[in-house]
Amino acid sequence: MQEKTKKDLAVEFINAIRTMDPAELNALIVREAGEDLAQFFLSYSANLISKDPTRVLENTSSLMLMGYLIRQNEERMLARGFGQPGLGLA
């Protein structure tokens, strides 16, 4: 069996959350990200989009990639034994 690519996993996840009940999706967001991070992304995306509404597609893509990079950074930091994730990009 062929190993799934990062894109395959992302597509599966997006398809799963697209069909999720809104209450279930909200519970997932609160459980995995927390209210603070959810509010941060809401505020950040509103600010980003209001600066240049003509770039909504590019901004949406950037926000999705930012979320992915944040998660990768968290995993990297936790794997290195740091209790609190931080900037582990180096």
Q: Going residue by residue through the chain (90 aa), what tens digit of pLDDT does each one get?
A: 789 998 999 999 999 999 999 999 999 999 988 999 889 988 988 998 898 889 988 888 888 898 889 888 888 888 888 765 555 544
CB under 8 Å to 84, separation ≥6 — which residues? 77
Alpha carbon of residue 26 to chain centroid: 14
Helical (H) or strand (E) element with 39: helix 34-51
